[in-house]
């Protein structure tokens, strides 16, 4: 994907004409040679045409400043920000992220191709490069109850879309390793494009088999040992730092300690709320934190730029050099990474606006269809106090499968501050499928929390310590078309997400304010700090992340790939 040559740009490069813009006197980070070079940067038609000594029609003095390429988020789900895609992009672009490689599998699992088309259309006219990876697992696994199915034939119609780079995270590892035909068909469709992985728990020969299938990247490494094993196998490891999964520190410390070259490492957020982006930054946080941990500033910048663009075949971005798109960050200095200005195609991001919001297809609304919610559905009979429980891990989306003696009264599980009750209801076709289980470490007391944002099938999930509040929270979401809810003594607060039960139709300022209030309330109700009450809950039903999950069909052991029969 190279940018076209033009006579006008060539004249500007030679100095025969003045380019539209020249950023003068800055120190340029050269991601090819690891040098810091003082040079003017000449820009014409949004393209860098030369570095050296240039005069422009418009000039910006960057004396004493450092210029580096715009950052790349190599893997994220725009739906996870809870607001319309353009809102996240504007916020993250202001902090230096000018390219987003998104996987719309949340929208696809609810609404199929209409969900994918929503993400594509909503990101068509934004001040950033937005590329899409075709969701590979809709549903995430054969045992899931989601809203749609996308097979290889459906995927083929997106092959010629220049914004579709390849196949999104292949999370059904068991189907890859076992040679399932439907999975192999999908891999074959994208054999000449990039294929993202989701293999953080595979090791040894299973990992070899998975890589052999054509998988190029992985963002699920939670520790250095897994990351280095994958890098040795040829994966591009996308180091994730999101709102719930915070893997950067451990992996980067291992890279520094073992003096590992950074070529096979890039950055991603996966799922990150706008509130946190505003407070800490987006990919800029990953870069800054990596420098604090001992990565050299230039190497950290390369991990956020050229490493990712090379991995995804985006040869027109990721560097400040002739022929590259003029996506440029201006920093006060390279050590602190303090960003002062961001350019997208040679125009300051703050001066750019996106087009008017497109109307939402009515089929993306009113998607919560649960069968006959009642108080009786929340009863959890158990015969023995010793039960298998889902144990939450702070600052991770991983869970631990453990056995514990749980509270029991009159043959029923009784939640307390240590053990919470969790219920998952199928919400797409009102089938009546449901499952109840026990969670340790979530800590909710005196009420319940509910969500229709529940990776990846996005069924209705409720966690609480009493059935009345659990029912109240669930019914509130059924009524409003989906979102988040907190119930306490019968009083319910909701954050409505009417678009597919995933996305708000309100401005991010309103969403962030309500979300911050609800998160704080959840912590006051016992959810420990280090556990994002909504993000962590949203992953408890995802059967492709170890060790144990819950679906409408039952409690699932991910490592054994089988359901668990609790007595």
Q: Give the pLDDT confidence of 421-478 residue by residue, as tens digits.
A: 999 999 999 999 999 999 999 999 999 999 999 998 999 999 999 999 999 999 999 9
* pLDDT of res. 382: 95
Residues 274 and 395 in one domain: no
Domain-embedded: residue 146: yes
pLDDT tens figures, 77-116: 999 889 999 989 999 999 999 999 999 999 999 999 999 9
Look at residues 277, 292, 313 and tell me which one is the last residue of a structural domain.
313
Provide long-range contacts, Cβ within 8 A and 24+ apart, for 339-343: 339/95, 339/96, 339/284, 340/65, 342/70, 342/93, 342/94, 342/95, 342/96, 342/98, 343/23, 343/70
Buried b or exposed e, range 13-42, using 16+ CB within 10 angstroms: beeebbbbbbbbbbbbbbbeeeeeeebbbb
Six-digit token string for 512: 């962030």
Residues 275 and 399 in one domain: no
* pLDDT of res. 353: 64
Nearest-angstrom CA–CA distance, 330 and 53: 18
Domain CATH number, residue 95? 3.20.20.140
Residues 191 and 286 in one domain: yes
* pLDDT of res. 397: 85
- Residue 332's contacts (CB-CB under 8 Å, 6 or more residues apart) are 64, 65, 66, 338, 340
Residues 457 and 523 in one domain: yes
Count Cα atoms within 13 angstroms, Cβ side, for 98. 30
Domain-embedded: residue 508: yes
Residues 275 and 377 in one domain: no
Q: How many domains, in total, are found in the chain?
A: 2
* pLDDT of res. 159: 96
* pLDDT of res. 565: 79
* pLDDT of res. 201: 85
Nearest-angstrom CA–CA distance, 481 and 366: 5
Domain-embedded: residue 17: no
Domain-embedded: residue 551: yes
Nearest-angstrom CA–CA distance, 157 and 101: 19
Nearest-angstrom CA–CA distance, 133 and 392: 30
State whether residue 515 is helix, strand or coil.
Answer: helix
Q: What is the largest CA-CA distance in the chain?
A: 88
Domain-embedded: residue 544: yes
Regions of the chain with pLDDT less than 50: none
Residues 384 and 506 in one domain: yes
Residues 394 and 299 in one domain: no
- Tell me if 102 sits within 8 A of 195, measured CB to CB: no
Domain assignment of residue 172, given as a range: 70-313
| pTM over 0.85, yes/no | yes
Domain-embedded: residue 78: yes
The single-letter DSSP state of residue 365 is S
* pLDDT of res. 351: 73
Q: How many residues does the chain have?
A: 567
Angle at 512 between CA 124 and CA 282, to 5 degrees: 60
In this structure, the strands spanning 491-496 and 448-451 are: unpaired
* pLDDT of res. 486: 98
Residues 278 and 380 in one domain: no
Domain-embedded: residue 160: yes
């Amino acid at each position: 994907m190279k940018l076209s040559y033009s006579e006008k740009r060539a004249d500007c490069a030679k100095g025969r004409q003045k380019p539209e813009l020249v950023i003068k006197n800055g120190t340029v980070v050269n991601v090819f040679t690891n040098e810091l070079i003082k040079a003017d940067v000449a820009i014409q038609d949004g393209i860098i045409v030369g570095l050296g000594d240039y005069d422009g029609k418009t000039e910006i003095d960057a004396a004493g400043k450092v210029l580096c390429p715009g950052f790349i988020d190599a893997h994220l789900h725009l739906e996870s920000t809870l607001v319309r895609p353009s809102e996240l992009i504007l916020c993250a672009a202001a902090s230096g992220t000018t390219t987003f490689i998104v996987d719309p599998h949340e929208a696809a699992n609810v609404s199929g191709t209409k969900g994918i088309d929503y993400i594509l259309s909503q990101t068509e006219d934004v001040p950033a490069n937005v590329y899409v990876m075709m969701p590979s697992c809709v549903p995430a696994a054969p045992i899931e109850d989601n809203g749609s199915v996308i097979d290889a034939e459906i995927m083929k119609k997106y092959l010629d879309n220049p914004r579709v780079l390849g196949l999104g995270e292949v999370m059904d590892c068991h189907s890859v390793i076992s040679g399932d035909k439907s999975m192999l068909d999908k891999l074959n469709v994208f054999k000449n494009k990039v294929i993202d992985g989701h293999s953080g728990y595979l090791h040894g020969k299973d990992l070899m088999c998975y890589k052999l299938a054509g998988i190029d990247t992985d963002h699920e490494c939670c520790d250095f040992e897994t990351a280095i094993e994958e890098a040795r196998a040829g994966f591009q490891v996308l180091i994730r730092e999101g709102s719930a999964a915070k893997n950067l520190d451990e992996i980067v410390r291992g890279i520094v300690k073992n003096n590992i070259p950074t070529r096979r490492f890039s950055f991603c957020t996966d799922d990150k709320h706008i509130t946190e982006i505003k407070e800490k930054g987006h990919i800029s946080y990953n870069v800054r934190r990596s420098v604090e941990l001992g990565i050299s500033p230039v190497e950290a910048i390369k991990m956020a730029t050229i490493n990712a663009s090379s991995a995804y075949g985006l040869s027109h971005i990721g560097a400040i050099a002739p022929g590259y798109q003029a996506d440029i960050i201006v920093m006060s200095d390279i050590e602190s990474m303090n960003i002062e200005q961001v350019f997208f195609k040679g125009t300051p991001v703050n001066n750019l606006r996106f087009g008017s919001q497109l109307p939402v297809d009515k089929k993306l609304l009113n998607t919560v269809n649960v069968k006959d919610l009642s108080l009786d559905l929340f009863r959890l009979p158990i015969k023995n106090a010793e039960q298998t429980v889902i144990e939450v891990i702070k600052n991770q989306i991983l869970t631990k499968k453990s056995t514990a003696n749980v509270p029991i009264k009159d043959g029923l599980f009784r939640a307390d501050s240590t053990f919470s009750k969790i219920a998952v209801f199928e919400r797409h076709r009102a089938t009546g499928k449901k499952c109840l289980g026990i969670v340790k470490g979530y800590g909710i007391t005196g009420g319940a929390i509910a969500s229709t944002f529940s990776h990846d099938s996005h069924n209705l999930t409720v966690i609480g310590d009493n059935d009345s509040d659990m029912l109240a929270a669930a019914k509130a979401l059924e009524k409003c078309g989906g979102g988040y809810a907190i119930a306490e003594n019968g009083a319910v607060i909701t954050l409505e997400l009417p678009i597919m039960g995933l996305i708000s139709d309100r401005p991010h300022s309103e969403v962030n304010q309500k979300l911050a209030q609800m998160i704080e309330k959840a912590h006051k109700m016992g959810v420990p700090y280090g556990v994002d009450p909504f993000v962590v809950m949203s992953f408890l039903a995802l059967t492709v992340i170890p060790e144990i999950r819950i679906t409408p069909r039952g409690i699932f052991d991910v490592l054994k790939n089988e359901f668990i029969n609790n007595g």
